[in-house]
Structures are given as C-alpha cells and as structure tokens.
Chains A and B, each alone.
Chain A
Amino acid sequence: MAENDKTEVLSAKIWDLLKKYGEIVLEDVEIEVDELELIFQPGVPVAIAKPVAKAVEVVKKLVEEKFKEPEMEWTGKIVEVKIGATKSEGGTRDRTFIIGGETLPAFYMFKGIMPHPPVIAMDVFDMKIKLPKSIRMHFEDVMEDPAEWAKRCVEKYGADMINLHLVSTDPYIKDTPPSEAAKVVEEVLQAVKVPLCIGGSGDPVKDVEVFKKVVDVAEGERILLNSLNLDMKLEDIAEYLKNKDVVIIAFTPMDLDKARELNRKLYDYVSKDRIVMDTNIAGIGYGLEYGFTVMERARLAALKGDTDLQHPIAAGVTNAWAAREAWIKMDPFWGPKEIRGPAWETITGLTALLAGADYFMMMHPYSIRTMKEIIKNLLEGSPGKAEDIYDWVSAKLG
C-alpha cells in the first residue's frame, strides 16, 4: 500500500510539472508506463493519461545521458630510466628504481595508471648547512655525518633514495677537493643500500672534476648524477661519462628551448635512457607558476611526440623552503612555522606531481609522508562511494 501511495504522490507531481514545463525529465524512478496509466485511470480521463505515458518515454531517453570519457591520442612515450644496480647487476644496492615510461599526462587515471610510481628521495648534505629549524630538528644530531644522516632518512623516514649534495666542494664554501668528496660518497654507499643521487655544488667548473671522481668511486652503482647543465664543459664531462654506468639529470632553468638544447647535446654522448630532466621548480609564491608550466609543457610536448623532451622529470621540491612563509616567524594568525614549512614543501611537491614529475627531492619527513600517501591514494585507491560524502552539507563538523 505504502508503495502505491508513493507512486500516487509522484503522479500528482508529474502532472504539476507537465503543466508547468510541457516536458519533464525523470530518473531513478522505477515505475513502468502501464503501471502509471493504471493508477491514473480511476480519476483521470484516459485521454489525459496518454501524454503522461509519452512524457515518461521522453524522460527515459533523457535520463540516458551518458558521460563519455574524453577522447585523446598521445603518440609519444617517456623513456624509462633505471637508477641503481643490485649485486647481480654489478652494484651493491638492495633495490633499483625505474622512472618514466608514461604514455599519458600525469594522473589521467581514467585512461591508465602510470607505469612506474614516482620516487621520493631525501636530501643529505656533506657538511652542516643552514636549514630551517623545522627540518633541522629531525637531523640535528647527524648533520655532521652524512652517512648517519642518510641512514636516518632511509630507516626512519622511508626515503626511496638519497640525494647527497656535495656542497662543501664549492670554491666559495670549503673548496673540498674531489677526492675527499668522493670519500663521503663511499661512506654513504656503505651506510645505506638504496640507490643514490649525487649532486655537486653548482659550480660548473668544479662540478666537472667532482663528478669524475664520484663516478669512479661509485662505478657499477648506476648512480644518478645531479646535474649537468649548459654552463659546463659537456665535451669534457659527458665524454667522461659516456661508458660509465651512470644516469644523469640534465638541468635547465625554466626554459624549454634550453632543455631541448641540453638534451640534444647529451645525446651525442649518452643514450636517451640515461637522461632525466630537471626543468627547475620554485616554491609557492616564488615563481612556482613558471616551474609548473614549463614542466607541464615539457611533458605534454613529449607525449605529443617531441623526441627531445621524452625524459622522466626530476623536481627539486626542496626549493619550496626558499619561500619565507615556509620558515619565518609570522603573526600567530598564520600558525607556527613548523606546520607552514611542510605545507609549503608538500603543496609545491603536489604541484610538480600533477604537472608530471617522476623524481622528487625533498626534506621534511611530514611532507614526504604526505606525498607518499597521496601517490598511493592516486595509484592504488578505491573509487569514491557516494554515501561517504553525500550528507556533508548537513553533517555537524568538528
């Protein structure tokens, strides 16, 4: 009986609407046309019942508006770059990582899942350097010892890889000789068994000498070198790397033409699957939009077939800490810097993630945890269930 009452109310409503709009649309209504006619018959003349039935037919057609998934065709593919080498491959790492291999823009999951999950690496420096307090507090006791620092990152904070920055080699800082810097690399290789990324000081002349030594001591480990750029004597360093088992980050400062130029120069020395690009990213408020757009354009161009840009992308998310909002004391309204900092780094990282980055250099444990969780949610998560959020409008929230 109750079911019938409901249908009757509905009929009245349909009638009202018909008068108003001439045509109506119904969905999720499970009544058959003849059922409707039956109910109308006692009170409503048959002649009027007919248009009702017709309207319901129209309704059924309209209800079937299907959302068609976007149509797209991508012809390019990002090369796969393997980092690290296990014992059987001539190295001493416990595991290796492959990045790249994409055939779709970042997180177009309706078309497919990215073939290799992004890698989150943590920064370690070869000397005690100035770091924001909210990062320092997690590493204070190991900052004089890069090997211990690296261990902390891997064992406690789950770093996939370590980015060891040999900043002390900078002629303006300590001017550490390459042979001494290389010793630190050996120590870190001993201390952790994840693949390593080794960076220089950014001095284009000194880095060449440092990198040669580093590559020699890490022979067979297939380290990722951070980075070669257009200011360097590429005919020297790239030639040296030619027959070594090492992969390279090609760094260019937010400029696609330069990114292409550098890649093309490197192709003379190394195969494509040994190059990762870093198109440079800046933190929120400090030029993030340039970095984001260059990265997004690079990836889209690569997928459309630009063979000079078909490389996995590295993102120096740590740059986010250059933003003062990440580390200065502000009016209490803006919250403690201990939370602003990781927020800055995480959101900068997510921006790069959605633009297409594959390899992330980061620092704050909480940022890294959040990034990993988001990546897991996106790559492995379950579909949303309407009932989980359907009543958010009327929910009493804390």
Chain B
Amino acid sequence: MPWKAISPIEVYKLLPKTNCKKCGEENCMAFAVKLVNMETKLELCTPLLEEAKYKKSYEQLKEMLTPPVREVELRSDKKVVKIGGEYVLHRHELTYINPPPIAIDVDDTMSKEELIKRINFAESFRYTYIGRQLTLDLIAVRSVSNDPEAFKKTVNFVASNTSLPLVLCTLNPKVMEAGVSALPNGKPLLYAATKDNWMEMADIALKNKLPLAVFSPGDLDMLVSLAKTLLNMGVSEIALDPGTFVGFNGLRTTIDAFTMLRWKACNEDYDLAGWPLIGTPITAWKMVDGDSQTKAWWEMITASMLIIRYADLLIMHSLEGWVYLPLVMLRFNIYTDPRKPVAVEPGLRIIGNPNEMSPVMLTGNFALTYYIVSGDIEAGKVDCYLLLADTEGIAVECAVPGRKLLPDNVAEILKSSGIEKKVKHRILIIPGKAARLAGDIEDATGWRVLVGPLDSKDIPKFIEEKWKPENIKKLMES
C-alpha cells in the first residue's frame, strides 16, 4: 500500500501526554504533529526511552514511524551522512527525506598527490544556492591493486586526510578486511557482497557491525536472495545495488530496476527492497567510448536520471565542477519539501544606505529570486529599497503568466511596507519580465512604473543610466 498519512491523534495516544517539553515542543500534541510530518525524531522524547512504563508505546511508535526504506547512517569522526529513510515513491505524496550523498572515488594505486587532489576536490566543493551550501559528501576508496596491504595503507591515508565518511569498495574479502582494520573509528559502507563473496563479506560486516552493500548487476532475483541471506545471517544494515548500466546496453535495465525496487518498498511493503539504493554512474568510465569529457558527460547524465529515479547514494569518478554543479542543484530541488514553498517573507528590504530619492524596485518572494536580485544590487553597490511582493514563492517569469504577481498586491505592499513615507518620488522599477504589467500596476498604485532589465545582473548599469535627477523629474511630471 502506498504510504498513508498517520494521524497525529494515533501518535499522541502513545506519547506520555505530560507536556514536559523535553522534546523542545510546547506539548505532546505539537510533538505528535511534527512526528507525523517527519519533522522531528521520536528519540527526542526522552521519557519514552528512559521510563520502563513507556517501553511498549515506544516500540509501537517506532513501528508506526519506520520508513519503508530503512535509514542507514554512515559516519566519520566528524560527519554523519544518512542514506535511505524514504517513505514515498513520489515526492508529492509526502516529501523525500535524505538527499542522496555523492561519493568521489579514489583508488589504492593512486599516488599521494593524486589522492590529496581528489580528496580536496570533494572537500572543497561548495556552491551557495539560495543561501544553502551544496556539497559533495563521501569518499569511495576502491581497491584496484587487489592487495590487502596497499588497500589498508590507502584507506588509512584517506581517512586521515578527509572529514568525509567512506565507502570501502572491493569484492575481495581479504582486501576488505584489511581496509576495515585501517578504520578503527567511523562507520563506512562496505561495498560489496556479491554472489561470489557474500559469506566472507557478511562475516566482516557482522564482526565489525558495519552496513554492507549488495551488488547484483542485472539480476534482481539474486539481489533479493543475497539481501535475504545477509539479513538472516544477522547483518543489520544493508544497501542494494542492482547495477548501473550506462548507454544502450543496459540503461533501461537500470531505470527499471531502481523503479521496481522503490515501488516494491513503498507501495507493496516488500521488506527486502526496503533498503537504500546505490547508483554507480562511475561505470560510465568503463562503458562509454570516447575522451574523458565524453565519459564525464554520460556519467553526469546517468547520475541525473538516478537522482530522479530513487538512488540514495551515488558513486562517481569525474573531477569536473560542471559535472556536479547541475547534480547538486537538481538534488536540492528534488529533495525540497513540496509542502513548503521555497519563499522568503514578502515586504521591504533595505539595501545599502538609501535616501528619500533612492530607487524603489519590485520583485517576487521566491527565495532564489531574492538572493540573486539582492546579490546583484549589493555587488553593484546600488543603494535602494527592494520590495518583495508575495508571489507565493514563485519566480517572476512564472508569476506573471500565472497571475501570482497582481497589480492589487503590488498596491497593497506599497502601502503596508511604509515605503511611501521613506521616499519622495513615486517611481517603481519593476522586473523586465513583468513589463506586461506596467500599465496595470500604474493604474492600481498611482505610481509611475519604470520597466527594469530582464536580468537583475543589469540593474547596476540600468540605475546608472536611467536613475538621473532629470529623468526622475521627467517621469514624475509626465
């Protein structure tokens, strides 16, 4: 059955109902509401954990709130990365929970310089988007040498040079054992158990209490058989890799496998599919012919499709900023909670030190619009007033045809913001993309409208050319 919203009343009944506020909420009902919206963690209710009389309730609640795709935590000394933990197949059914971390690979035949270069790439990758930091998340250490000692040395070196959690990649149990022994702390993901090595790999995972990935390319029967086997043996956390095929020979198999596995987990309660899915776009480097740019391109393309189709972790090889930039933004978009528009408060923003003759500009309250426009204005050192109309978090170019930027709302915000007392002129600069509304806004507000540039990067130039005393005078008098 597809995920059904749990009633907060059902949850509330099982909570202590003491309103002790230890969870940080005002009362147990508020906590219950947050729990069913997946906005808080059950474990924040400490009495539930500590007091024996609540033990049964806790178990029941845990069962109720466990996602159909189990959550697995990977850790380094400094960072925690969660994978899986998903409730729904489609984001509109609730929201997606944990954005799939991207792991950059290194291998045990690389020189120290190369290792450092790749680690630094992953560590320093950072892109600021609507005020959030988008990053890369993991290092995947592969054994190419197939030599336990070499792998151990590399894992050790990587671990001491990165803050990111690791994925240890080898199909040779002896090599895996050596790698694990180099990591006394932390919780890496072991990649991978296969039809050939599962017994020994399970042994290592059990001994070290580590999560173990199952790799069964193109064979879902084997994948679930292995999953079942490992779980029966006592491995407590697993992840599933049905194989990432790139291009004509298998992309279809891969998209089908990810779709079927996630469907089975979310819509049919099929436990064996209810684990994080691992995508390895890195296989583009094996399967695609051509130069490294071509391989990187197809790696990116494959990764983007797997972000849409349910991957919970991606292992990649490229070392190009352009490969990851669209991916981290796509990932951010898709994992944004659809229940909350990415909006900022509408109203007045003061940029720089404006005076009574400074320009007044209008834009929407889509978070991205605000960050870009204000960033451009600040960069151009323009002192001005920026009015954010309530476009319900929609970008201006969609808000205009979508009638989310209405002249009446503009009139309202001119009044409520108090801008009429701050400036002497009555000229409103509107976005170039809202040019069509110029006349209607003039009619609704009584202000003169000056149509600004199509892109906010041109605002400084626009102000320099157009915002001159003689122009202002002319506009006010016309």
A66 partner residues in chain B, CB cutoff 8 A: 221, 224
Q: For the complex, give the distance between the alpha carbons of A382 and B287 in Å.
A: 14
Give the secondary structure class of B's interface: helix
**Proximity string of chain A (58-69) to chain B, C-beta cutoff 8 Å, 1 when within and 0 when not:** 000011111111
A257 to chain B, nearest CB (A): 12
Q: Which of chain B's residues 240-267 have a Cβ closer than 8 Å to chain A? A: 243-245, 247-256, 259-260, 263-264, 267
Flag if B334 contacts A282 (CB, 8 Å): no
Interface centre among A231, A350, A377 (most CB of B within 10 A): A377
Indicate which residue in B249, B305, B398, B404 contacts A385 across the interface (CB closer than 8 Å). B249
Q: Which of chain A's residues 199-213 have a Cβ closer than 8 Å to chain B? A: 202-203
Tell whether B233 is near chain A: CB-to-CB under 8 Å. Answer: yes
Stretch at the interface among B4-12, B318-326, B462-470: B318-326
Tell whether B372 is near chain A: CB-to-CB under 8 Å. Answer: yes
Known: A255-B402, A293-B338. A394 touches B144 (CB 8 A): yes
Indicate which residue in B105, B267, B282 contacts A70 across the interface (CB closer than 8 Å). B267
Tell whether A85 is near chain B: CB-to-CB under 8 Å. Answer: no
The residue of chain B having its C-beta at the shortest distance from the C-beta of A67 within the complex is: B220
Known: A65-B221, A325-B325, A384-B243. A393 touches B143 (CB 8 A): yes
A376 partner residues in chain B, CB cutoff 8 A: 248
B372 partner residues in chain A, CB cutoff 8 A: 324
Tell whether B275 is near chain A: CB-to-CB under 8 Å. Answer: no
A72 partner residues in chain B, CB cutoff 8 A: 263, 267
Flag if A384 contacts B221 (CB, 8 Å): no
Known: A107-B255, A350-B305. A286 touches B317 (CB 8 A): no
B293 partner residues in chain A, CB cutoff 8 A: 339
Flag if A394 contacts B143 (CB, 8 Å): yes
A347 partner residues in chain B, CB cutoff 8 A: 300-301, 304, 326-327, 330
Q: For the complex, give the distance between the alpha carbons of A347 and B304 in Å.
A: 7
Tell whether A39 is near chain B: CB-to-CB under 8 Å. Answer: no
B288 to chain A, nearest CB (A): 11
Q: For the complex, give the distance between the alpha carbons of A253 and B248 in Å.
A: 35
B239 to chain A, nearest CB (A): 14
Q: Which of chain A's residues 344-398 have a Cβ closer than 8 Å to chain B? A: 344, 346-347, 350-351, 354-355, 370, 373-374, 376-386, 388-398
Flag if A398 contacts B295 (CB, 8 Å): yes
Flag if B338 contacts A289 (CB, 8 Å): yes
A365 to chain B, nearest CB (A): 14
Q: For the complex, give the distance between the alpha carbons of A24 and B229 in Å.
A: 8
Q: For the complex, give the distance between the alpha carbons of A172 and B437 in Å.
A: 11
Indicate which residue in A231, A251, A355, A378 contacts B252 across the interface (CB closer than 8 Å). A378
Known: A254-B398, A384-B249, A388-B245. A335 touches B255 (CB 8 A): no
Flag if A393 contacts B169 (CB, 8 Å): yes
B149 to chain A, nearest CB (A): 16
Known: A297-B92, A389-B245. A288 touches B333 (CB 8 A): yes
Flag if A70 contacts B326 (CB, 8 Å): no
Tell whether B223 is near chain A: CB-to-CB under 8 Å. Answer: yes
Interface size of A in residues (CB-CB distance below 8 Å):
89
A67 partner residues in chain B, CB cutoff 8 A: 220-221, 223-224, 260, 264
Indicate which residue in B143, B326, B395, B404 contacts A284 across the interface (CB closer than 8 Å). B326
Indicate which residue in B91, B199, B252 contacts A13 across the interface (CB closer than 8 Å). B199
A211 to chain B, nearest CB (A): 16
Flag if A109 contacts B255 (CB, 8 Å): yes
Flag if A389 contacts B308 (CB, 8 Å): no
The residue of chain A having its C-beta at the shortest distance from the C-beta of B395 within the complex is: A287
Tell whether B222 is near chain A: CB-to-CB under 8 Å. Answer: yes
Flag if A383 contacts B435 (CB, 8 Å): no
Flag if B308 contacts A23 (CB, 8 Å): no
Q: Which of chain A's residues 81-95 have a Cβ closer than 8 Å to chain B? A: none
The residue of chain B having its C-beta at the shortest distance from the C-beta of A379 within the complex is: B252
Interface centre among A340, A370, A383 (most CB of B within 10 A): A383
Interface centre among A72, A351, A383, A397 (most CB of B within 10 A): A397
Tell whether A296 is near chain B: CB-to-CB under 8 Å. Answer: yes
A351 partner residues in chain B, CB cutoff 8 A: 304, 308, 330
Tell whether B170 is near chain A: CB-to-CB under 8 Å. Answer: yes
B401 partner residues in chain A, CB cutoff 8 A: 202, 229, 231, 251, 253
Flag if A396 contacts B229 (CB, 8 Å): no
Tell whether A3 is near chain B: CB-to-CB under 8 Å. Answer: no
B270 partner residues in chain A, CB cutoff 8 A: 68
Known: A335-B321, A347-B304. A382 touches B221 (CB 8 A): no
Tell whether B374 is near chain A: CB-to-CB under 8 Å. Answer: no
Known: A254-B402, A334-B321, A393-B142. A292 touches B251 (CB 8 A): no
Tell whether B349 is near chain A: CB-to-CB under 8 Å. Answer: no
**Proximity string of chain B (386-421) to chain A, C-beta cutoff 8 Å, 1 when within and 0 when not:** 000000001101100111100000000000000000
Q: Which of chain B's residues 72-103 have a Cβ closer than 8 Å to chain A? A: 90-92
Tell whether A98 is near chain B: CB-to-CB under 8 Å. Answer: no
**Proximity string of chain A (14-42) to chain B, C-beta cutoff 8 Å, 1 when within and 0 when not:** 00010001011101100000000000000
The residue of chain A having its C-beta at the shortest distance from the C-beta of B336 within the complex is: A289
A234 partner residues in chain B, CB cutoff 8 A: none
Flag if A384 contacts B217 (CB, 8 Å): yes
B169 partner residues in chain A, CB cutoff 8 A: 393
Tell whether A343 is near chain B: CB-to-CB under 8 Å. Answer: yes
Interface centre among B191, B218, B322, B330 (most CB of A within 10 A): B322
A355 partner residues in chain B, CB cutoff 8 A: 308
B199 partner residues in chain A, CB cutoff 8 A: 13, 17
Known: A21-B234, A282-B398, A377-B251. 4 other contacts (CB 8 A): A67-B221, A68-B264, A381-B253, A385-B218
Q: List 21 A-B contacts (CB under 8 A).
A: A25-B225, A66-B221, A71-B268, A110-B260, A253-B402, A280-B398, A286-B368, A300-B90, A322-B397, A325-B326, A325-B329, A344-B326, A374-B251, A377-B247, A379-B252, A381-B248, A384-B249, A385-B218, A388-B283, A389-B243, A397-B285
Binding site for A on B (CB under 8 A): 90-92, 105, 107, 109, 129, 142-144, 146, 169-171, 191-192, 194-196, 199, 217-226, 228-229, 232-234, 243-245, 247-256, 259-260, 263-264, 267-268, 270, 272, 280, 282-283, 285-287, 292-293, 295, 297, 300-301, 304-305, 308-309, 317, 320-323, 325-327, 329-330, 332-334, 336, 338, 366, 368, 372, 394-395, 397-398, 401-404, 435-436, 455, 457
